[in-house]
Chain A
Amino acid sequence: QIQLVQSGPELKKPGESVKISCKASGYTFTDYAMHWVKQAPGKGLKWMGWINTYTGKPTYADDFKGRFVFSLEASASTANLQISNLKNEDTATYFCASEGVLLYWGQGVMVTVSS
């Protein structure tokens, strides 16, 4: 069965960086796009962008241009999200979701940014 398994929770200070991973199994990694979705505590879902797992080309939503980087380790069927220069407002759960209409989801990673 298709599974997306994300890395564990992170506690970071403002200004630091964080890298979250999302390992896919149960399908050919390059068959489906990988999306990233942010959910701040008690808030709704926000689409951050997606990466073409075949070409490696990322597309970022407007609010996530600059400090956010999507990358792949295709040989390991893994997608990564790196956030640099962390701010308090980056505190959120970050989900990866694969397939064109975000059918398959990881369990989410809680990132806490606090001094």
Chain B
Amino acid sequence: DIQMTQSPPSLSASLGDKVTITCQASQNINKYIAWYQQKPGKAPRQLIRYTSTLVSGTPSRFSGSGSGRDYSFSISNVESEDIASYYCLQYDNLYTFGAGTKLELK
């Protein structure tokens, strides 16, 4: 089974900051990674798939990159509506979520 190591577990940012979350897979996942945003009491929302493809409706301040085992997700110019938890998901071999990152306001 593929394991996904997501970091950091939590992140504190000011409005307008750039933040970056990373996920490292236990093996090459061939860019098959997606990123989700989840707000309390809500279902997750997919933001990015296949490493860097923005899903329809995802603001351009969100971005993703990476290859092989190492991937990152960034939010430039953090806005108040971005306060949420974020998860990576590998879908190269079955599916595995990362442990999540909680983004809070500083």
Contacts and interface: CB of A to CB of B under 8 A. Distances in A.
A91 B104 CA distance: 26
A19 interface: no
Taking residues whose C-beta sits less than 8 angstroms from the other chain, chain A's interface range is 20 to 34
Contacts, number: 52
Contact of B44 (A61, A62, A105): A105
B100 to A, nearest CB: 4
B96 A47 contact: yes
Nearest to B98: A44
A66 to B, nearest CB: 17
A46 B1 CA distance: 13
Contacts of A59: 94
A29 interface: no
Nearest to B85: A44
Interface of A: 35, 37, 44-47, 50, 59, 61-62, 95, 97, 100-103, 105-108
